[in-house]
């Protein structure tokens, strides 16, 4: 593990350069991994989408 002391701008530039060095396929998979991690990120206020909905059931004869 390497520890670097740099500004936020330098860090962002380095991340961008590293990302652009990847092939298109590797970039895509990197994006998918990031999406997966973000989807598992805990959130404080979960919205209940079905809170104000109601269900109409029509029974067939």
Alpha carbon distance, N-terminus to C-terminus of the chain: 68
Tell which residue, 39, 34, 40, has the closest CA to residue 22.
34
Distance CA 11, CA 61 (A): 66
3-state SS, residue 48: coil
- The pLDDT confidence band at residue 43, using thresholds 50, 70 and 90, is confident
Whether 26 is in a domain gets the answer yes
Domain count, the chain: 1
Q: What are the pLDDT digits (tens) for 15-36?
A: 999 999 999 999 999 999 999 9
Q: Is residue 17 part of a domain?
A: yes
Supply the range of the domain harboring residue 36: 8-40
Q: Is this model's pTM higher than 0.75 or not?
A: no
Q: Is the dihedral of CA 24, 1, 41, 11 positive or negative?
A: negative
């Amino acid at each position: 593990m390497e520890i670097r002391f740099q500004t936020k701008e330098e860090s962002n530039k380095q991340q961008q350069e590293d990302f652009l060095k990847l092939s298109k396929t590797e970039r895509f998979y990197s994006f998918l991994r990031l999406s997966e991690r973000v989807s598992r990120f805990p959130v404080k206020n979960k919205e209940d989408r079905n809170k104000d909905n109601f269900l109409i059931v029509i029974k067939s004869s």
